[in-house]
Structure formats: C-alpha cells, structure tokens
Amino acid sequence: MANNLDDSQAELDSVEAELEMVELQISELLEKQTKLNSRKNKLLQNLEGACSSAQSSGSSKPPKPSFSKQDLEHYEESDFSWSKEVQAKLCSVFQLSNFRPLQRAAINLSMSGKDLFLVMPTGRGKSLCYQLPALCSKGFTLVIAPLVSLMEDQLMYLKSVDVPAVTLNASSTKEDSKRVLAGMIDKNSPFKLLYVTPEKIAKSKLLMSKLDKAYNMGLLARIAVDEVHCCSQWGHDFRPGEILFHPDCVKIVSHYKLLGILKRQFPKVPLVGLTATATSNVLKDCQKILCVQEPITLTAPFNRPNLYYEVRFKDNEDCTDQIAQLIRERYKNQSGIVYVFSQKDAAAVATDLQKKNILAQPYHANMEPSDKSLVHQRWSSKKIQVVVATVAFGMGIDKADVRFVIHHTISKSIENYYQESGRAGRDDGSADCIVFFGFADIFRISTMVVMENTGQQKLQNMVAYCQNVDRCRRAMMAIHFDEVWNDDECNQMCDVCRHGNDYITMDITKHARDVVTIVEMASSMDEKLTPLKVCDAWLGKGPAKHRKTITVTSLSRLEVESVIIYLLLHGYFSEDFSFTPYTTHFYLKLGRKAALLKNDNHSITMKMKRRVMSHATVKKVSESAGEKSSAKVEGKRPADSDNKKSVAKKVKTLP
Ligand SMILES: Nc1ncnc2c1ncn2[C@H]1C[C@H](O)[C@@H](COP(=O)(O)OP(=O)(O)OP(=O)(O)O)O1
C-alpha cells in the first residue's frame, strides 16, 4: 500500500511538472499568436493604402482609410493654382530642384487647407513642408518648436536664404517682442514665419490676443507644430535624445499638452504636426490633445537607402582603438559623430581620439551652452572632424555631409538608434552607421532605463537588433516600426545582406542547462550574480567554492556572452534589480522559461556569427557535423548570389 502511494505521489509530481511545462508552452504560443495576429492586421492595413486618415480616438469602429492611394496621387500632382509659385520658390529661394517623397503632397494638402500629420524620418526635409507654403500664402505661419536653440538654427538658415522669419521666446528683448507683436497684425506681413515655444502659447495672453486679431484679419495662414509627438503622454519616449534628456523636458511636454487652444480658437487655420517617429497610438493622442477633427496622416518611407548599417562586436570593453582606426582609414577628412553612453565617456573617448591625432571634441548636456555651440560650430565648419557626444547632441543638428555615425555604446532603443544614426547622410550621399555591441553595456543601459515604463522591452529590442545575424537590419527596423518591407530595398546596404553566410546555427541546450544551473545554485545559496560574475563562474574564474559544483565551459568569453544574451532575450533568464541610494545593480535571475530546460525534450538553438566564435568552436562544430549524418547546418548564402533562395537547414551541436 505504502509503495502504491509513493508511486502515485511520484507520478503525480511528474504529471504536475509536465503540466506546468505544457502551460508554459501554451502561453508562449498564445503570445506568439497575438503578435502574429497584430502584425497580420497591420500588414493588411498598410496594404490598403500608404496613407490613412488618423481615426478619432476611442473609436471602436475598424479603421476606414478616408485618404486613399488615389487621393495621395491627386495631391502629388503639380497642377494646383499655387503649383507654379511653389515650384519657382523651391528653386529660387531654397535652391532645390526636386521634392523628396511626400513633400509635394504635404505642401499641396497644407495649401488646400487640410490638417495634416507628417511623419517623416529625421533629416528628410519636414521643415520645407511648412516653410514653402508659408512663402506662398498671405500672412504668416505660426511655428511651435520645443527648444530655443532649435528655433535659432532655423532662423539662421532662413536668414541665409532671405526668408523673413522671427521668434518670440523668453529671451526676446522688449523691443523685439513689440516689433514682432506689431508685425503680426500688419497687412504687409513683415515676416512669413513666427517661431514660438509651446510655453509662450500657454503663458502669453498678449500673444494669444494678437493671434486672435491676426486670425480675424486673415493673416494667420497656418500653424505648424514641430515635434508634435511631445503632445502625447507616450510621445516623449520617441525622441528622448532631445526632449527627455533636456533639462526642461517635463515643462516642454506639459506645455505641449495645452496646444489644443490653437485649434479651438482658430478652427479655420490649417494645422500641420511634424514628427520623425510616432506610432499611430501616439498620433491619435496628439489629435485629441490638439483638437484636430480629421487630420490626414502622411507617413514617409522610413528607409534611408544611402545609409549602410553595421553591427560590430566589442571583443573587449574598449573599442576606441577600432573607432580611431576606422576614422583614420575609412573616413579621412570626413565629418562624423561618435555616440557614447555617458558624459564621462564623452570626455574620455574624445581625449583618446585626440591622442591618436583625430580632431575630436566632446559634447554633452552638462557643458556650458556657449561651449556646446562652439563645438557645434567648429564641427559644422569642419574645424573639427568628430563630435563625441551623448544623446544631448541631436535636435537642430542639420549638417548635411555627416559620413559616419558610430555608436561606441548601443542606443537604449531602436527608436533612438534610428534617430541618432539618421543624422548621417542628410545630403543623400552614402554614409555608414556602425554600432559597437558590448556585453557589459547592455546592463549599464538596463539600470539607466529601469524607471521607464517600457525601458527594458525597448532595450531588449535594440539588443535583439544587434545580436541578429541572419535578418536584414533594415527589415528588423521595418518590423519594429510596423512598415511593410521588401528585402530587395536594402540593396546590400547592411552588413547582414552584404556578408551573408556568416553564421552557424547551433544547439546550445546543454550550455543553457549548465549556465542556468549556475544561477539556480547561486540563488539557492541566497547569492545574486551579476552577468559578469555568471560569465566568470561559467568560465571557471569565479570564487573557489563555486568551482567544485560548476560545469566549466569550453566556450570562449564572446561565445559565453552571446549565449547569456540569447537566454536573457528569450526568457530563460530575466533581470533582477537591486537599488541603493547611489546606484542600481543588475543581477541575473531565472526567467519563466528556465523550467523548460528540465524537460529532456526541450532544445534550444541559436544562430551565432562565425566571427564571434572561437576557432576551436568552429573546428569542433565542423567536425561534429561531419561525424553525425543527421547534423544540420544553416547558413546564409553570400549576398551576391541569390540571397532570397532558401538554403538547406542543418543544426550543429555546439561542443
Ligand atoms: N527636396 C529636397 N532636396 C534636397 N534636400 C532637401 C530637400 N528638402 C530638404 N532638404 C534638405 C534641407 C536640410 O539640409 C535637410 C534636412 O531638412 P530638415 O527639414 O531640417 O529635416 P527634418 O526637419 O526632417 O529633420 P529633423 O527631424 O532632424 O528635424 O534636407
């Protein structure tokens, strides 16, 4: 009887364990199903037309595109009553011969009096879409921009092309303000563009009353809201480089929220909201906040065909030597930016580059404004070659001939990376965007974004972008931004498409079990391990007491790091933060999928770049694949052969 009970108990335990596993698998599959369904719906929506009207917020009806492809084609034409003037001023004032994608449509829509949201990648020429209509309309255009420095750059540029433009901001003198306020109600319109901060709209009754008068006189031609995503509660996630890290971030965002007054007071004035990256949810929020009834949303293709995207692994934590070599050899006499993680890094990397005879200077938020603008000016006029900057170097940077943007440390999200790298090649000439991907950097950034709602998820997406070895980098960004993507469009302008066949697919199940056991054992002893400690322990370098119980790996450090990152990205590990008054620590703990490794049938494969793998591993993998007839190899064909044809799939077991 006792035996029977024991057997039953044992079987019950085993059934329960198996059930737990099945539940995990079901929840995984359900998660995948939700993601695929949402992607499918998005693709179907996108296929219906490149543009669609932003739907009114909270509507439960399925989105009905009220702006069709045919409508777009209509607005791309050049037979409107204003077309000749627009074309003439494009050439004579702005010295440009052609429009870039969607610029003409945006201008025609705005000239037709429509409200518009224009989502266009950084550097593609959003400003022209309100500056040119301003020149071709009676009265003046009111431009809301978040930062005074940004306005000043615009005013400098407009002055250089003889476009009369003024600003009203906290640092305007009394005289200037008086002149501007009078000009607003002057029928001869002494200026065509008036730049103000959102704060000015929120606080200056005088400005609002002059706007009211100008409106009644028919002189308020248009309202342009730059960085319109700042209106939304989620929007500031999208350009943290500029707004979130700006000391006045909270103020800026709170003033944007009050801009609804403009459409309420001046309902007949067309509004154009401009942004580089905003999801449809953010735009819906902006629409509501700005009180715009039925805006048309134009989304320009996010692809920048002239940019070459590449990820390099940091084989030690300092990659400055490699960066210096690149700058000296590949980018001789060419301008570029090196983005770093912290102000300290900006100073240190700039000094290191200077020691290697590269004209580099640091730029970060904590510098005196005059020093910042000096660095900016020197760089713009090619007196220095490189700015080593934190994300504070962003908004208002409009240098056309930036030939390289190198990330010494990964960005904290793909949105950020897209913005930062997008500062390269604004002149449409080819330019390189290279990220150095380092293991320890992931955790430095992770602790920095710990208080942000979606900080960890966004960082994981960025890490997945960097760890990816088989998918076109542009395709990854396209999926991230919900864009329909055709692989041909990359044109070998990313490292994956250019150097195909550079990875091996390996079975890492045994390694995963070993390293998960290390973390499990530590936790059973009430010990927390940082990722670096886990690496050390697994490589047999940890404290002696651990070594007895640990299966030391034969993998190289880079391989070990890659496996740990993979396990973190795929839920076998997860983050465990601990906070002190001065700092935040990152530890690894078991993720919800770790339990799956107890199941003998569970296996994990990962794709690893050949260059990351040690010679020993590649050799052993090749030998084991040769021995086992069932072994599989997955490799990508070199991009110059037909890289879209599927190839035989084989998986090698990592020794
Ligand atoms: N049709 C065009 N042809 C050639 N160059 C153009 C055209 N339109 C704009 N440009 C140039 C002018 C600027 O040097 C550069 C970037 O324009 P700009 O309006 O500042 O970009 P943007 O506002 O989209 O960028 P950001 O998001 O960084 O503010 O592109």
The stretch 541-557 carries a mean pLDDT of: 79
Topology given in CATH for the domain delimited by 505-609: Arc Repressor Mutant, subunit A (1.10.10)
The stretch 639-643 carries a mean pLDDT of: 39
122 C-beta closer than 6 A to ligand 1: yes
Q: Classify 112 as helix, strand or coil.
A: coil
The pLDDT tens digits of the residues spanning 76-129 come to 998 999 999 999 999 999 999 889 889 999 999 999 999 999 998 877 789 999
DSSP-derived letter for residue 598 is G
Q: How far apart are CA 651 and CA 655, in angstroms?
A: 12
Q: Within the chain, which residue ranges are assigned CATH 3.40.50.300?
A: 69-299, 307-500
Q: How far apart are CA 47 and CA 337, in angstroms?
A: 37
Q: How far does the centroid of ligand 1 lie from the alpha carbon of residue 76, in Å?
A: 19
The stretch 11-17 carries a mean pLDDT of: 78
pLDDT band at 46 (very low <50, low <70, confident <90, very high): low
The stretch 633-638 carries a mean pLDDT of: 40
- pLDDT for the residue 33: 75
Q: Whose CA is nearest to atom 26 of ligand 1?
A: 122
Q: Is the predicted pLDDT of residue 202 greater than 50, yes or no?
A: yes
Class for the domain spanning 307-500? alpha beta
> What is the residue type of 102?
L
398 C-beta closer than 6 A to ligand 1: yes
The stretch 620-639 carries a mean pLDDT of: 46
Share of residues in the chain with pLDDT > 70 (%): 85
- Ligand 1 closest atom vs CA 120: 24
| Dihedral sign (CA 193, 196, 198, 200) | negative
- Ligand 1 closest atom vs CA 129: 19
Q: How far does the centroid of ligand 1 lie from the alpha carbon of residue 305, in Å?
A: 15
> What is the residue type of 518?
I
Q: How far does the centroid of ligand 1 lie from the alpha carbon of residue 132, in Å?
A: 12
Q: How far apart are CA 69 and CA 47, in angstroms?
A: 10
Q: Whose CA is nearest to atom 13 of ligand 1?
A: 125
- pLDDT for the residue 547: 63
90 C-beta closer than 6 A to ligand 1: no
- Ligand 1 closest atom vs CA 127: 19
- Helix (H) / strand (E) element for 262: namely helix 260-265
Q: How far apart are CA 103 and CA 127, in angstroms?
A: 10
Q: Is the predicted pLDDT of residue 579 greater than 50, yes or no?
A: yes
Q: Whose CA is nearest to atom 11 of ligand 1?
A: 125
Counting every residue written for the chain, the total comes to: 655
The residue among 232 and 143 whose pLDDT is bigger is 143
DSSP-derived letter for residue 431 is E
The residue among 613 and 205 whose pLDDT is bigger is 205
Q: How far apart are CA 166 and CA 300, in angstroms?
A: 29
The stretch 494-511 carries a mean pLDDT of: 90
CB atoms within 10 A of CB 350: 24
Residues 148 and 171: beta-carbon distance below 8 Å: yes
Pairing state between β 165-168 and 193-196: parallel
The pLDDT tens digits of the residues spanning 449-467 come to 988 878 899 999 999 999 9
pTM of the model: 0.70
Q: Which of 131, 275, 398 to mutate to test the pocket of ligand 1 (most atoms within 8 A of CB)?
A: 398
Q: Which of 98, 102, 128 to mutate to test the pocket of ligand 1 (most atoms within 8 A of CB)?
A: 128
400 C-beta closer than 6 A to ligand 1: yes
Share of residues in the chain with pLDDT > 90 (%): 57
Q: Classify 284 as helix, strand or coil.
A: helix
Range with the poorest average pLDDT among 409-423, 485-499, 539-553, 578-592: 539-553
Which tokens sit at 105?
A: 């449509």
- pLDDT for the residue 555: 93
Q: Whose CA is nearest to atom 18 of ligand 1?
A: 125
Q: Is the predicted pLDDT of residue 647 greater than 90, yes or no?
A: no
Q: How far does the centroid of ligand 1 lie from the alpha carbon of residue 393, in Å?
A: 17
The pLDDT tens digits of the residues spanning 378-418 come to 999 999 999 999 998 876 677 889 999 999 999 999 988 99
The stretch 585-601 carries a mean pLDDT of: 92
- pLDDT for the residue 151: 86
Pairing state between β 296-299 and 52-53: antiparallel
Range with the poorest average pLDDT among 207-216, 228-237, 595-604: 228-237
Phi-psi region of 291 (alpha: psi -120 to 50; beta: other; left: phi over 0): left
125 C-beta closer than 6 A to ligand 1: yes
- pLDDT for the residue 634: 44
Q: How far apart are CA 131 and CA 165, in angstroms?
A: 10
Pairing state between β 386-389 and 335-339: parallel
Which tokens sit at 269?
A: 């004035």
Range with the poorest average pLDDT among 28-42, 226-240, 499-513: 226-240
Q: Is the predicted pLDDT of residue 641 greater than 60, yes or no?
A: no
The stretch 567-589 carries a mean pLDDT of: 94
Contact residues for 107 (Cβ-Cβ < 8 A; gap 6+): 86, 99, 128, 129, 132, 133
96 C-beta closer than 6 A to ligand 1: yes
Pairing state between β 140-144 and 116-119: unpaired
- In sequence order, what DSSP letters do the residues of 452-518 get, joined into one string? STTHHHHHHHHHHHHH--SS-HHHHHHHHTT----GGGGTT-BHHHHT-S-EEEEE-HHHHHHHHHH
- Ligand 1 closest atom vs CA 275: 27
- Ligand 1 closest atom vs CA 150: 29
Strand partners, 299: 119
Q: How far does the centroid of ligand 1 lie from the alpha carbon of residue 128, in Å?
A: 7
Range with the poorest average pLDDT among 102-111, 171-180, 432-441, 639-648: 639-648
Q: Within the chain, which residue ranges are assigned CATH 1.10.10.10?
A: 505-609
ipTM here = 0.98
Q: How far apart are CA 540 and CA 532, in angstroms?
A: 12
Q: Is the predicted pLDDT of residue 224 greater than 60, yes or no?
A: yes
128 C-beta closer than 6 A to ligand 1: yes
276 C-beta closer than 6 A to ligand 1: yes
Topology given in CATH for the domain delimited by 69-299: Rossmann fold (3.40.50)
- pLDDT for the residue 119: 92
Q: Classify 373 as helix, strand or coil.
A: helix
- Ligand 1 closest atom vs CA 96: 3
- pLDDT for the residue 632: 38
Q: Whose CA is nearest to atom 30 of ligand 1?
A: 125
Residues 284 and 276: beta-carbon distance below 8 Å: no
- pLDDT for the residue 429: 94
126 C-beta closer than 6 A to ligand 1: yes
- Ligand 1 closest atom vs CA 276: 27
Q: Whose CA is nearest to atom 9 of ligand 1?
A: 125
Q: How far apart are CA 565 and CA 429, in angstroms?
A: 35
104 C-beta closer than 6 A to ligand 1: no
Q: How far does the centroid of ligand 1 lie from the alpha carbon of residue 30, in Å?
A: 43
99 C-beta closer than 6 A to ligand 1: yes
120 C-beta closer than 6 A to ligand 1: yes
- pLDDT for the residue 362: 97
Q: Classify 423 as helix, strand or coil.
A: coil
445-455 burial, b at 16+ Cβ within 10 Å, e below that, comes to bbbebeebeeb
The pLDDT tens digits of the residues spanning 310-358 come to 999 997 767 999 999 999 999 999 999 999 999 999 999 999 999 999 9
The residue among 273 and 153 whose pLDDT is bigger is 273
Residue entry with tokens 């000096």: 374
Q: How far does the centroid of ligand 1 lie from the alpha carbon of residue 402, in Å?
A: 13
Q: Which of 127, 154, 335 to mutate to test the pocket of ligand 1 (most atoms within 8 A of CB)?
A: 127
State the chain's mean pLDDT as an integer.
85
Q: Whose CA is nearest to atom 7 of ligand 1?
A: 125
- pLDDT for the residue 622: 63
Q: Residue 165 half-sphere exposure, CB side, CA atoms within 13 Å?
A: 24
> What is the residue type of 225?
V
- pLDDT for the residue 402: 97
498 C-beta closer than 6 A to ligand 1: no
Vertex 589 angle, CA 584 and 594, to 5°: 155
Contact residues for 67 (Cβ-Cβ < 8 A; gap 6+): 49, 51, 52, 53, 296, 297
